[in-house]
Structure formats: structure tokens, C-alpha cells
Amino acid sequence: MFHIITPGILSLLQDAGRYGQHAIGLTTGGPMDPLAFKWANRLLNNDTNATVIETTVGGLKLKANTDTVIAVTGAKVMLTINGDEKPQWQTLEIKNGDVIELAYATQGSRIYLSVAGGFQVPQQFESSSTVLREGIGGLNGSALTAGDELAVEKNKNVSMKKLPGECIPEYEADVTLRVIPGYQQHEFSRHDQRMFFYHEYEVSDLCDRMGYRLSGPAVNCQIDGILSEGIALGAIQIPKDGQPIILMNDRQTIGGYPKIGSVLSMDLAKLSQLTQGCKVKFEPITLDHAHNLLVLAQHKFENTQLEPLELQGEKS
């Protein structure tokens, strides 16, 4: 059992996401930074769909009531166990009674805390992912709150390892988002398309798990609205005011605003690590290119070997 002492800004239980449920209007949810999520589980030899805690910005404090192993990935943050600073991106042994605390992120904003075997949470619609807007997943569809108890598996045998340093992502404040042009792309004039792809946009204060609203030069669409249609992950909606909104994991499943294309999922992960005031640029890529990038990224993940940690006795 893990006991939540303070949940921080926003802590949500997430597995890989809820799929195949759009027919009843349910969105996908799941980790905003899937790569950091995948490493958090892989370090512990967990199932790829195991449930972790996604903490936004930080402030999470929890107490372990069992011996186990954890890992913390994602945004750079000071992590302590009983007050002693510990590294991210590696396995960490936990003893019954240990207090784990995350300070506030200094680079990036989404932090993932995984436990050996995953947090044991009942599934709703085949997933434990919490979507607050729907009140589905997690513990009763809610964010974690002080006093929550999270069940974990006992006596999980996990070998101690770490991710090689060169594989740890850097969370930069300015990113280029690769875009697959599509949807109503041709309803935007050449001039407006160039404007969109050649200017810098800033992350506004209106950004959450549903969408990231950007501010910058207005992009005008030649049509006002469209018949409501399915919204893909990463779709870039352009409402009347011309300020792009990038639709993220908790987006609504259908909508009637024109869209100029969609951001590559690997880059959405980077976007999700940005905070208000960060800068983004867009770069168009072809669908074939996107496909290659996705397949290669998966091969890279699968073929990266974790490094064994030196034994405790050999330390110091």
C-alpha cells in the first residue's frame, strides 16, 4: 500500500490509455508523455500498460507501507526518499515506512512515478486512466487526494537498473513540433499556411490535458465551421480568433472547428512538458516520414539496453 500525504498540483493515475471506446464518446486519456511513461514501466520490468502516477509540475508526497521498488521519470525534479536526494531514470529500493517526495520540476512539467507491478487500480472501460472531465478511471474518476491508499503487489522481484545517460530526454523550453498537414488544410490560404509554419507561437495559460492553446499571429480559415467530425490526437484546431489549439489526450472525440493538420505524437510528448510562455514552431512533414519516425522510435525503445546498477555493497 502507498499512502498519499499530499497530491501536489495534479496527480493522476494513468495506464497507457483507453482505446476502442470512442463509439460511446469516451476519450483516450493516458500519459501526456508516453515515452517517459514507457521508461517508467520498463525500468521495473512492468507490463507496458501498468498503472503509474502522472504528476504535473510536482509537490507529490507519499509514504510506502511495504517494501518495493519504484522509478521516477519525466520532468527533471528533485526527488527525495526520507529527505535524501535520489536520481531519476533508475530503479530505487523502497522500505516499509519510506517517505517519497517530489519537489517542483525545474525542466519539463510531467513526472511519472511507477512501482514494481504497477499500482493496482480497477479498470473502467478496459483502462485505469483518469479523465477528470468524464469522471472515469483512477480512484472514482478523481485526481489523487491526501489520504488516498494505493494498492501495490507485494514481494516483486526486480533487478536494479538504470537508463543509459545518453537516452534520458532533455526537456527544452523551445521546441519544433512536426506536423502532418491534413483535414481542412486546403481551406487555409497559402498565405495563412505559410504564416502558420514560419512563425513562432507561445504556450498560453490555457493549457491542460484537453488541449494547449497557443498565441501568435492569427491563422485564418476560409470556412467558419464544419460538420462535426472525429478529432485525432494532436489535431490543430483553428477557431475564429485564429489562435491554434492543439488537442491532447483528454480532447473531446468530435468537434466542428476546422483543423490544419496534426502534430506528431512524439512531439506532443515534448509539448506536454512545456509550460506557459515556452515557444513552439511548426514544421510540416509527410505521412510517410511520420510513419518511419514512429517505427524507428519504437525500435529504438525496444533495442535500448538498460544498465545494471552496481550492488549496494560496492558503493562508496
Among 67, 93, 134, 208, binds another protein (CB under 8 A): 134
- Under the binding rule (CB under 8 A), the answer on residue 230 touching another protein is yes
**Closest CB 21 distance from another protein, rounded Å:** 7
Candidate list 51, 88, 249, 262; residue touching another protein; CB under 8 A: 262
Please, what is the minimum distance in Å from the beta carbon of residue 100 to another protein?
32
Helix spans in the chain (H): 34-43, 190-198, 265-272, 287-303
Does the protein bind another protein through residue 146 (CB under 8 A)? no
133 C-beta neighbours (distance < 10 Å), count: 14
Considering the rule CB under 8 A, would residue 106 count as an interface residue with another protein? no
Instruction: Closer to another protein by CB, 82 or 298: give it.
Output: 298
**Cα dihedral value 52, 57, 61, 67, nearest 10:** 30
Identify which range of 69-77, 78-86, 93-101, 289-297 contacts another protein by CB under 8 A: 289-297
Comparison of 216 and 261: residue with beta carbon closer to another protein: 261
Q: Is 231 in the site for another protein (CB under 8 A)?
A: yes
Which of 239, 242, 255, 284 contacts another protein by CB under 8 A? 255
Query: Cβ contacts of residue 235 below 8 Å, gap of 6+?
Result: 183, 246, 247, 251, 259, 261, 262
Closest Cα to residue 179, out of 32, 281, 294, 35? 281
287 binds another protein (CB under 8 A): yes
Of the candidates 96, 294, 301, 308, which one interacts with another protein according to CB under 8 A?
Answer: 294
**Of the candidate residues 245, 264, 274, 306, the single one contacting another protein (CB under 8 A):** 264
Candidates 233, 275, 304, 309; binder of another protein (CB under 8 A) is: 233
User: Taking CB under 8 A as the rule, does residue 311 contact another protein?
Assistant: no
Secondary structure (3-state) at 269: helix
By beta-carbon proximity to another protein, the closer residue of 241 and 307 is: 241
Report DSSP state, residue 107: E
Q: Where are the alpha helices (DSSP H) in 154-253?
A: 190-198
Which stretch in 144-152, 180-188, 194-202, 274-282 sits in contact with another protein by CB under 8 A? 180-188
**147 lies in the site for another protein, by CB under 8 A:** no
Closest separation in Å from C-beta 34 to another protein: 13
Does 221 sit near another protein (CB under 8 A)? no
Position 26 contacts another protein (CB under 8 A): yes
Which CA distances in Å does 194 have to 132, 222, 286?
Answer: 37, 15, 16
Q: At what angle do helices 287-303 and 34-43 cross, to 10 degrees?
A: 20
Give the C-alpha separation, 231 to 239, whole Å: 14
Burial class of 19 by CB neighbour count within 10 A (0 to 12, 13 to 18, 19+): middle
Q: Which of 146, 151, 295, 296 binds another protein (CB under 8 A)?
A: 295
Write the CB contacts of 203 (distance below 8 Å, at least 6 apart in sequence): 212, 214, 271, 274, 275, 276, 277, 278, 279, 280
Please state the φ and ψ torsions of residue 201, each to the nearest 5 degrees.
-120, 155
Q: Summarize as ranges the residues that interact with another protein (CB under 8 A).
A: 19-26, 124-125, 133-136, 180-183, 227-235, 252-255, 261-262, 264-265, 287, 290-291, 294-295, 298
